Chains A and B, each alone.
Chain A
Amino acid sequence: MSTVSPAGDEAVRLERFTTRIASGDQIEAGEWMPEQYRFEALRLIQMHANSEIMGALPEREWIPRAPTLARKMALTAKVQDEVGHGMLLYRVAETIGRPREEMYAELVEGRARFHNVFHYPAETWADVAIIQVFVDGAAMQTQGALRSCSYAPYSRVLKRICYEEDFHIQLGLDVWRALAEGTPAQRAMLQDALNRWWTPIIHFFGMPDRVSPHTEAMLAWRLKVKSNEELRQQFLRRFVPVILEYGLVVPDPGLRWLETEQRYEYTEPDWDELKRVGRNGGPKSAERLALRQSFYRQHAWVREALSRWSQAAA
């Protein structure tokens, strides 16, 4: 309408958009969305995609060394899934507006972020069990909640991702059980891995959210469905019993269940470490990025060849 100014138009659209999401509706690829929503959704999904791609690396190191043929096949399939998730997620991020090539290059050049847990070393075979059970278990809490997020292409992809993550957790529990019920050396290796991974896993969910306009906007837009602390508690309720069941020790002497509050109390971790790690300052950040860079450079001619081929084929 000519009587409505462009700015007024924008306000009407924004209101309609917000109302739709509040009513539980989801946004499709290619639809109008507020710039802030686009920015936040892209940041969330790109970070998720980056994490899957970088998350393939720690476990990948154990594929050549997996101790049985069955484990070797299953671990390969598991890492393959992570790579596949990266593919699905970059595609979703593309629908919000950035080419995959650009996002991938940004990751490789160390200008993008990925989840804290993938900046740590996988030192022994037992780390594979810990990653599959606890890291994937942690991711499952976040991703499971986000299945009801407001961006429909993301929620569709998360459905498949969660299905595959469940396989990872089941597989991990099988490795976990073999080691937990194994020789004293195997049990010791498992406990050691658990000790090293505990803090990164507690970090995984992020600092407890501050009450801020940002958090509120994210919740209102359903780009965040549960608070960091809710997800961390959900994770602890699910996985602390797994540790105790097998007679292993939770590596936090301060951890206890508060019956009245129905939540776990835990020792406050060093949040500065999380910030440092998140800025690619973790113990393995540089090495893993260097590996990505080296393969990326090595394959420049392959990308070039395929692009020439597709031009010729077009």
Chain B
Amino acid sequence: MTVPASSVALGDPAVRAAFREWLLRIADDELAIGHRHAEWTGVGPDIESDVAMSSIAQEELGHARLLYEQIAGEAPGAVDRLAFGRPPSEFRNAVLLEQPNQGWEFSITRLALYEAFESVRFGLLARSGQEPVAALAATLAREERYHGLFAATWLERLAGASVDAGGRVQAALDVAWPYALGFFETTDADGVLLRAGLVSDSAERQRDVWEAAVRPLLERCALTPPVAEPRLGGRRGVHTPALGEMHAAMTEVWASDPEARW
């Protein structure tokens, strides 16, 4: 029996740990932004968009759940222990995604930046050769398409409506952009995955692909990304106070009795 090349790669504990770290980043990203987007449910700027944003939130949470399952397995409660049972310092999400919603323009801008990144990353994961995760990534990417569409449609309308509205979106972009560059923050895991051939593009290359997707959209909206240093930390577990606040709410009930069935 021939052992698939991917299994050989994961036979190396260092590669296995790096791959796990990568999956955890993706899952934590989805959980953080899903949590923030879910906070819009019931208070969106108009009723129809409220409903649509809520679906996006649900799908992001759903993606987080499936990805956690890849890491934790399907034993009852395992996924929730991973999602709710870790302290904030063990979260690997990019700090952009834990930021509070602030305003609709910020959430829309963040969503547009994030979705472009998701499409790059799910592409890489789908080509990683690691089944069943690769197939899962290809499936999840299908839902991300609508998320990107929703973000772009909103962004274009807000930015193009008036000088005032455009200014607000630009201000949101000025805040979000440096954080978004934190998507590409690397740890030792990135080098390991590259060398093992599980990830085909370096972080620099990923950022180029992302910018090539994001900049034309921003240009179409007459928005200019600021020149700024990346805001890093998330991939190493160094977070902003926003994660602590979010984490406290998220774990409040679960932590009252982690053994209980809820």
Residues of A whose CB lies within 8 Å of any CB of B are: 53, 56-57, 60, 63-73, 76-77, 79-80, 82-84, 86-87, 90, 125, 175, 178-179, 181-183, 185-186, 291, 295, 298-299, 301-306, 308-309, 312
Contacts and interface: CB of A to CB of B under 8 A. Distances in A.
A69 B42 CA distance: 19
A11 to B, nearest CB: 40
A79 B239 CA distance: 30
A172 to B, nearest CB: 14
Interface in B10-51: 31, 35, 38-39, 41-48, 50-51
Interface string B73-87: 000000110011000
Nearest to A294: B43
B152 interface: no
Instruction: Tell me what chain A mostly uses at the interface: helix, strand, loop, or mixed.
Output: helix
Nearest to A80: B54
A305 B161 contact: yes
Contacts of B158: 302, 305
Interface range on chain B: under 10, 10 to 19, 20 to 34, or 35 or more? Answer: 35 or more
Given A69-B83, A73-B62, A83 B51 contact: yes
B164 interface: yes
Contact of B157 (A56, A57, A298, A305): A305
Contact of A84 (B51, B68, B104, B168): B51
A86 B160 CA distance: 29
B157 A306 contact: yes
B50 to A, nearest CB: 5
A302 B45 contact: yes
Interface string B225-248: 000000000000000000000100
Contacts of A53: 47
B165 to A, nearest CB: 4
A65 B253 contact: yes
B261 A63 contact: no
Contacts of B252: 65
B157 A60 contact: no
Instruction: Tell me what chain B mostly uses at the interface: helix, strand, loop, or mixed.
Output: helix
Contacts of A86: 47
20 contacts: A56-B42, A63-B38, A63-B41, A67-B84, A69-B31, A69-B61, A69-B64, A69-B68, A69-B79, A71-B262, A73-B61, A79-B41, A80-B55, A87-B48, A90-B47, A186-B257, A299-B46, A301-B165, A305-B161, A309-B160
A60 B249 CA distance: 13
B70 interface: no
A308 B163 CA distance: 11
Contacts of B257: 183, 185-186
Given A82-B42, A185-B256, 16 more contacts: A53-B47, A60-B41, A64-B38, A64-B246, A69-B83, A77-B54, A79-B54, A80-B58, A83-B50, A83-B54, A179-B262, A182-B262, A183-B260, A298-B103, A302-B45, A302-B104
Nearest to B51: A84
Contacts of A56: 41-42
A47 B123 CA distance: 48
A175 B261 CA distance: 10
A83 B65 contact: no
Contact of A301 (B38, B164, B256): B164
A120 B36 CA distance: 25
Given A64-B246, A65-B252, A178-B262, A76 B38 contact: yes
